[in-house]
Structure 1
Amino acid sequence: MAQGTRRLAMPVAALFGLMVVALVASSWLLNRDALRKAVEAQIRAVTGLDLVVKGGTDISVFPGSYVSFHDVGLRGGAASDPALTVDVLTANLRLLPLLLQRFEIADVMMLRPRIRVVRDINGDSNWTPFVGTITRTMKPGAENQVSFSEIRIQDGELTYEDPVRQIKEALGDIDLSLAWPSISRSFAATGQFDWRGERVDGSISIGDFLAALSGDRSGFKARLASAPLKLAFDGTVANRTSMMMEGTMTVDSASLRNALRWTGQAPLGSGGFGRFALKARANVVGASVALTNVNVELDGNVAEGVMTYANNGRQSLQATLAADALDFTPYISTFRLLASGARDWNRQLFDLDSLSTTDLDIRLSAARMTVGPSKLGRTAIGANLRNGALALSVGEAQIYGGIAKGSFGLSRADAVADVKAQFQFTDVDLQACASELFGVNKLSGRGNLSVSLAASGSSPFGLAQSLDGTAMLTGHDGAIAGFNVEQLLKRLERRPLSGAGNFRSGSTPYSNLTVAVKFADGVASVDDVHIDGPARVTLTGTASMPSREFDMKGIASLTNADGAPGFALPFVVQGPWDDPLVFPDPDSLIRRSPATAPLLDAVKDKKTRDAVRSVIERFTGNKIPDKTPDDAAPAAPDAASAKAN
């Protein structure tokens, strides 16, 4: 066995030695000018690009067999600017043909190439001749078969320009290997490059390269991986009249907000858009992508449905999705109507720039939905964003134990937001509704609420200043916390001057409640407020939206057993919304007191007033001017009296 191995090794060694001797001899006898021209001709035949060498040429046969061209330009067709410039282009030669004085390129390596791709109005580019030529040379029986199967790019740059779509992109530090072996119909490209400050790992494989170049259908796989985003596609590709792709697409990102910024998009608002994952069946035609069997996850929300994306000069996204549960809290958490102290409106200016970047048409349905503190049951909503105008519609939502429907519109005029809202809440829990919508925690019961509002401003405070519209609230079988009108009226009926006592405690039950409000320039006019129960209350006045304060007057009255009005008392409501002061009219209490009412009447009677004045003059020794309180003008107090007072 060992002897057989030695007998086999001796001819191989001898053959290798003869090859070395032949290579050394060939290097002395080689026609270097013919080699150079042969390499240039093969590159032109394969790529369809003319080779223009401005620098020197290095030729080596042994130990390495290659030809290196310095400062090279490759031009396609009649183009004046080179489609490709290379600092050093090296063509490695096949060994056996070289021994027979035939020059065949094995592979090509380009050091620091600068690739320029420019699309014209017809969709063609300055690289169209290259695609056409390589398609012809790959066909069986072609006159000039492909003579090399791999191109390696090191430290390259690529610029892409599409003047029609106003797109200009640049890739840097490209390390790439392009391979289409002559023994196979496949093509593969693998490598790395820099784009917008991120390193991207990528690979592409085509099952039938010739079919793909001819525009016919071929198997296609692609993968891109970077820190902001990962994308993969597995399917088919064709390019007859326009690029068409069909297959399974997956997208994954740790932060969709960062991924959108990296790709040049502006996400809405400043909250949410974190963890994102998508898997779908994709159908790509030109710049349009239709996704079916979509399974998408964003910020822990998972939904299924269909989506369509298009970029025909302006980006647009359409989607119809259904979910078991959705949480919108991350997207509204940074939008605050009230300042941190909750006593004043937020004056921070709106950021409306993101309304103008993309068109959206999204329909969502969920069995459960969370919006901040609000918990909704089965809900269907729609969102439409077009040309900077946002429209939200709620077809039906189970909320606060009832049903809500309505719409919300937001349009932009420079830095000013125009807002319109119309909502109807039917048979809802008023305590939960008033607390979460208006921050009012003193109302309970069930009822209906309808609002129609419009405002313009650059901040929540600006919206409050310009608020116009109407609101109507009807309720039943509830209570107003913070005071007990019935107990107060009964106590004051017996002893008018006993004081309110613990007036700001307890609650006022009601059987029916009606509140009608009109808004004009930030002022709410309360024209119709009726509270019916053991005590009846009517109320009129105004409420300032910018200052969030009440200035109202009302009348509270007891209801007798026969239903007729009983003891009645005017009262005043003043102060901030969340903690107003409610106090009786003091003049009314004095009139109702048995002890003070005669004195008040006596002071108003002229005879009694004269008698009282006479007594005062005898005690003081000063004569009082003969003027009645009604026609006497008050004198300005002197310094001493002012100090004494």
Structure 2
Amino acid sequence: MSWPVLRVGAGNAVMEGAGGFALSGGDNPRLSAQATLAADRIDLAPLVGALVKLFEDGGSSVALAPLSRGDLDLRMSATEGQVGPLVLQDLAASVLVRDSAVEVAVNRARLKDGVVKGRLTLMRGIDPSETEMKAQGGIDQVDLGGLMSDLGGSRWVTGPLQGQFALESHGRDVAALVSGIGGRASVAIEGGALSGLDLTDVIHRNGGLAPGALARRNGRTGFERAAIALRFADGIGEITEADLRGAGVAATLRGQVSLPDQRLDMMALLAPRQAMEGARTVRIAIAGPWDAVTTQAQRGEMPEPGGASSTLARMRSILQPPEAVGLPAAIRAYAP
């Protein structure tokens, strides 16, 4: 059966195009569906919500058999696609389902003045109860400050964001997929700024903040480039490169991101851009669950992230004021 003119309603969206169905013969008949549809606006929240719900339960099976009882070739386009507060423009996506594979792709979409692309492929393993996963994608020139604002957060980082990722894993359930992730990911910002935080002032204060600085949010650190690259193995992302270069400050970051435990274990090093012998440097430990990260200035040599994790986990303060350095607290900059 085929329809050269087809209209499909999904929630509040109306998609128009063409499509058809076919039922194969034989002892195991298989239903196939194909459609090319377009809409002015598509609400993607139900689909994204279903994926989020699936990944919230680590014990959920990822076997493909229940998802691939028929074939599907669905191509969709929309002037506007919405996921909660996020609005994607000029969206082109596809869903392909075969006997042994499922592929969901965002072939192209515009987001906050930039472009995003992504592809998720699930393939049946040698053991039918196991699934192999491959995910790859990229973002280019996305307004990070605007994106954070749309998501309900503060615009504490601004600038055009670009990056890419290529990850793979395999397992029988969601927890196994997450704990087995391997691959690479990287992001960079050219010509951005940290709002509400003056890193030069943090260096002068030995890692401390001026009283009320975060509440006033009157600090700012502009930078030429900030970038971070991670290499994943068994669900642990090791930072292979991370640095920030501003007009008067340089910062590097080392440590790990744990996807199974959803926690950070890192150390940041801040120093004046034109570092001289004896110049002051500050080390700041960053650790804890993603939703309760704590930071604290450190002294002495930079420890290995893994060896310091038990100590960092007990840190509760945010950039504790330094020990007295013999200067009034109101002093922002000084010369010897």
Select the structure that is richer in strand: 2
Contact 1:376 1:399 in 2 (8 A): yes
Unmatched tracts of structure 2, length 5 or more: 302-322, 327-336
Shift of 1:559: 3.0
Pairing partner for 1:547 from 261, 282, 290: 261
Higher normalized contact order (CA 8 Å, seq sep 6+, divided by chain length): 2
Q: Deviation string for 1:48-105 (max 9, x for gaps)?
A: xxxxxxxxxxxxxxxxxxxxxxxxxxxxxxxxxxxxxxxxxxxxxxxxxxxxxxxxxx
Contact 1:483 1:503 in 2 (8 A): no
Shift of 1:468: 0.7
The residue aligned with 1:405 is 117
The residue aligned with 1:464 is 178
C-alpha spacing 1:306/1:543, structure 2 compared with 1 (3 Å): same
Contact 2:68 2:100 in 1 (8 A): yes
Corresponding residue SS for 1:336: helix
- Count residues in correspondence: 292
Shift of 1:536: 1.1
Contact 1:292 1:305 in 2 (8 A): yes
Shift of 1:419: 1.9
The residue aligned with 1:375 is 87
C-alpha spacing 1:346/1:432, structure 2 compared with 1 (3 Å): farther
Pairing partner for 2:242 from 529, 539, 564: 529
Write the distance in 2 (CA, Å) between the matches of 1:337 and 1:433. 23
Pairing partner for 2:40 from 324, 327, 333: 324
Pairing partner for 1:474 from 188, 199, 206: 188
Contact 1:431 1:444 in 2 (8 A): yes
C-alpha RMSD of the superposition: 3.2
Pairing partner for 1:394 from 85, 91, 106: 106
Write the distance in 2 (CA, Å) between the matches of 1:504 and 1:447. 26
The residue aligned with 1:347 is 58
C-alpha spacing 1:304/1:434, structure 2 compared with 1 (3 Å): same
1:579 aligns with 2:292: yes
Shift of 1:429: 1.6
After TM superposition, the score normalised by the length of structure 1 is 0.41
Paired residues for 1:257-272 under 5 Å = none
Contact 2:42 2:81 in 1 (8 A): yes
C-alpha spacing 1:470/1:374, structure 2 compared with 1 (3 Å): same
Contact 1:402 1:426 in 2 (8 A): yes
Select the structure that is richer in helix: 1
C-alpha spacing 1:481/1:354, structure 2 compared with 1 (3 Å): farther
Shift of 1:319: 0.7
C-alpha spacing 1:415/1:323, structure 2 compared with 1 (3 Å): same
Shift of 1:483: 4.8
Moved more, 507-516 or 522-531: 507-516
Write the distance in 2 (CA, Å) between the matches of 1:417 and 1:503. 51
C-alpha spacing 1:455/1:481, structure 2 compared with 1 (3 Å): farther
Shift of 1:564: 7.1
Q: Deviation string for 1:134-160 (max 9, x for gaps)?
A: xxxxxxxxxxxxxxxxxxxxxxxxxxx
Contact 1:355 1:389 in 2 (8 A): no
Q: Deviation string for 1:505-564 (max 9, x for gaps)?
A: 35644231111111110110001111111321011111211112222223101235xx97
Pairing partner for 2:160 from 443, 446, 451: 446
The residue aligned with 1:603 is none
Shift of 1:455: 2.1
Unmatched tracts of structure 1, length 5 or more: 1-288, 340-344, 596-645
Percent identity over paired residues: 27
Contact 1:302 1:323 in 2 (8 A): yes
Shift of 1:504: 8.4
Q: Deviation string for 1:318-363 (max 9, x for gaps)?
A: 1111111111212232332698xxxxx5324146443121100111
C-alpha spacing 1:568/1:350, structure 2 compared with 1 (3 Å): same
The residue aligned with 2:70 is 358
Write the distance in 2 (CA, Å) between the matches of 1:346 and 1:441. 31
**Which letter does structure 2 place at the counterpart of 1:449?**
G
The residue aligned with 1:567 is 280
The residue aligned with 2:139 is 425
Contact 1:365 1:379 in 2 (8 A): yes
Pairing partner for 1:334 from 50, 53, 58: 50
